[in-house]
Amino acid sequence: MIADQRQWLSDNKIVGRDAEGKEVTMDCSKASSQNVTAAYGYVHDVMAAVNADHVLAVLGMAATVTYGHGARHLAGTSLNQGDVEAAINRDIQTGVKNATQPTGNFWGRVNVGGQTVEYRAFTLPNGTINVGTYYIP
C-alpha cells in the first residue's frame, strides 16, 4: 500500500513549500512510510474539500474564506482592508463556482479603487480557502 501511495504522489508531482516558502516537489523515494501516508492522506483530504466547495458553490452556497497577513501590505496605499478582502472574496467565489479543475493552490488579481491587488490562496482539508497573502504587485 505504501508503494502505491508513494507512486501516486510521484506520478502527480505533489509539491510543497520549504522553510522559505519556495515551491518544491516532494521526493517520495526518500520519505519515510509515515510521511508518505501523511502526505497522501492530506492531499486526498484537500481534493475532497475542493470538490465539495465546487459542488456547494454551484448550489449557491459560498465557500468559507479566511485571510492571513495581507492587510499589512496595504500600508501607504489608499486601499481599505475591507474593500480589498471583499473584492478577493467575490473573485474566489466566482472562481470556485466556475472551476473546471480543482482549486487546491491558486492565485488571482482583483482591481480595487483603480489599483491591482494580487493574492495567493489555498484550500485546507476542511474546505476553508485561506488567502495567505495579498499585495500590490
Task: Confirm whether pTM is higher than 0.75.
Answer: no
Instruction: Give the number of other CB atoms < 10 A from CB of residue 56.
Output: 16
Burial level of 128, CB count in 10 A (0-12/13-18/19+)? middle
Q: How confident is the prediction along the chain (137 residues), in pLDDT tens digits per residue?
A: 777 777 777 776 666 666 666 677 767 777 788 877 777 777 767 677 666 766 666 666 778 899 988 999 999 999 999 999 999 999 998 888 887 666 667 899 999 999 999 999 988 888 888 999 999 99
What is the pLDDT at residue 42? 75
Amino acid at 93: Q
